[in-house]
Structure 1
Amino acid sequence: MNTTPTIDVPVQVLSGPTVLIEYAGLRILTDPTFDEPGEYPVMPGYAMTKTSGSPLGTDEVGRIDAVLLSHDEHDDNLDRSGRAFLPRVPVVFTTISGAGRLGGNAKGLAFWDEATLTAPDGTVVTVTGLPARHGPEGSEPVSGDVVGFLLTAPGHPSVYVSGDNASLDYVQQIADRCAPIDTAILFIGGVRHKPMLDAQLVTIDNTQATWIARALQARRVIPAHFEGWAHFQGTREDLTRTFEEAGLADRLTYA
């Protein structure tokens, strides 16, 4: 795996899972969520509450060359404004099932599938779909499909985007094939939805994030999807403390 540790890929976490990555001259956005704070009903008697919005709106985020959409079925990963934004982008990489639902410019990536983007200077950027599961084994009928992503290009550091993954087994598979990873953007949150899946984790928690940092040999870990919604567990201070106690404080970067 080609990594260039002396180059920091510019990354800006805008809101929840929405991250702007400037990679090899391309501007890539993950899981677009631009709605104002509010409630999103999930089922009778249960709603998700968004507590903070994005500092940039859809008209302010600028040119986006591609979207990496981990999944399209949950409002905290693709809200109303984000969904309306997708047609403005040349290509949206997502799950196979999600591409079928979205149509248009959506391209489904199965696990380990590859696609390419061409940067303005001609650099070929490879986008690899990576294994992910949004909950415990067998949870897909409830939580839906999800996919992670890896960005690689000659002379550029590798960037991993976890998506809403809760499977450490899948992370180990990624580590076996792709480590070391330069920059790991981890969707953390430690989410447990009590009405569903017996309150088991549907995204990784802080301790698991430190395990992943080690498994991937990540030089830099950027947390995302851990603030801005009421169902996320813990605080930024909790996450910082967990990395400090694990001896990994030098890898944790808030973007």
Structure 2
Amino acid sequence: MSSAGFGMGLSRRGMLGVGAGVAAVLAAPGAVSNALAQSQPAGDRMLQVRNATVQINYAGVRFLIDPMLADQGAYPGFPGSAMSHLRNPLVPLPVPASALMDVDAVIVTHTHLDHWDEAAQRALPKAMPIFAQNQTDAETIRGQGFTEVRVLDASNQFRGVSLARTGGHHGRDEILKAIPILDPVCGVVLSKPGHKTVYLAGDTVWNDEVSGAITQHRPDVIILNAGYAQIIDLGPILMGPQEILTVSKAAPQARLIATHMEAVNHCILSRADLKVFAEREGFASKLDIPGDGEWVAL
């Protein structure tokens, strides 16, 4: 698909045309390694689980990020978004949900269904340390029975790892005005002396807060929610190819990892299309696009 095909404000008719192509890609079976059934790799690494759900092993601490653990097709598509006739998640977990419980803490960047679902709430131990973006989300999670809920701020410490909350916006101003429940959202920076600084941007488009986080933290690795999710007639609520290129230019020293792809109905950017775009624009060598169940070194 050409970069012109990733336009802002797609019409319903145009969106469904794009959706048909993406649905065909998603329907193709792929080989997925049973990553957690084997010994986890040594060193700082990220496991792409599914959608925005990732496990980050960093400085000896294991973080589960934004767990969406439901079975394939458990939820209806998001109303008013691209391909809303498809049920979420579009694909199965690459590992049993039980295999993801052996972590030290969970980070929930926001409580939208595709980042913190009922299946995760049932599966996770109630005493699991959980970091939330603000007091409102923390109270929501406490109300679901969790007893060790902490609020991310500019400087948290967990087992020797520094966690810093970053800002973002889940769409442009006109989208947020029309659908205010999209915000707030957050990202997080993981750092420790002797280890690369990792910035997980979360559900955001490119904006001053993302630019500021890059300037402030100078991350070595940036994890981007790159599915280019679309609201019909309004536009994208996640980064697409052009904004990923913008991040690459803003952080020439950083390696990029693309996540939040090919797993929920409104994400129209496929891994294959992003790879082609990155190759054409000359930054493919610094971009990883892991498949579900794949470990990536940080």
Q: TM-score if structure 2 supplies the norm length? A: 0.73
AA of the residue aligned to 1:90: M
Instruction: Give 2:167's aligned residue.
Output: 131
Unaligned runs of 5+ in 1: 1-6, 119-123
- 1:21-49 superposed Cα distances (whole Å, 9 cap, x missing partner): 11001111110011111133655996763
CA displacement at 1:145 relative to structure 2: 1.4
Assess if the C-alpha contact under 8 Å between 1:130 and 1:147 holds in 2: yes
Which protein is bigger by CA-based radius of gyration?
2
> How far apart, CA to CA, are the structure 1 residues paired with 2:121 and 2:76?
15
Instruction: Give 1:64's aligned residue.
Output: 103
> How far apart, CA to CA, are the structure 2 residues paired with 1:241 and 1:43?
30
Q: Is 1:252–2:290 an aligned residue pair?
A: no
AA of the residue aligned to 1:189: G
Instruction: Give 1:21's aligned residue.
Output: 56
CA displacement at 1:154 relative to structure 2: 1.0
Q: Is 1:147–2:175 an aligned residue pair?
A: no
Instruction: Give 1:3's aligned residue.
Output: none
AA of the residue aligned to 1:187: N
Q: Is 1:80–2:123 an aligned residue pair?
A: no
> How far apart, CA to CA, are the structure 2 residues paired with 1:222 and 1:44?
28
> Alignment partner for residue 157 of structure 2, among 107, 116, 133?
116
- 1:173-219 superposed Cα distances (whole Å, 9 cap, x missing partner): 1122112x11111101111122xxx5222111122112112213353
| Identity, % of aligned positions | 24
Assess if the C-alpha contact under 8 Å between 1:158 and 1:182 holds in 2: yes
**Structure 1 stretch 51-60 or stretch 33-42: which is displaced more?**
33-42
> Alignment partner for residue 210 of structure 2, among 145, 151, 171?
171
Assess if the C-alpha contact under 8 Å between 1:66 and 1:89 holds in 2: no
AA of the residue aligned to 1:70: T
Structure 1 residues 68 and 166, CA gap change in structure 2 (3 angstroms): same
> Alignment partner for residue 193 of structure 1, among 223, 231, 252?
231
CA displacement at 1:109 relative to structure 2: 2.2
Q: TM-score if structure 1 supplies the norm length? A: 0.84
Unaligned runs of 5+ in 2: 1-41, 291-298
Which structure carries more strand by proportion? 1
- 1:117-148 superposed Cα distances (whole Å, 9 cap, x missing partner): 11xxxxx1100000111111372723131110
Q: How does 1:206-217 map to 2 (within 5 A)?
A: 206-217=241-252
Q: What secondary structure, in the 3-state scheme, does the structure 1 residue paired with 2:97 have?
A: coil
After TM superposition, the runs of 4+ consecutive aligned structure 1 residues lying more than 4 A away are 41-48
Q: CA RMSD in A?
A: 2.3
CA displacement at 1:230 relative to structure 2: 2.2
Structure ranking higher on relative contact order (CA contacts 8 Å, 6+ apart): 2
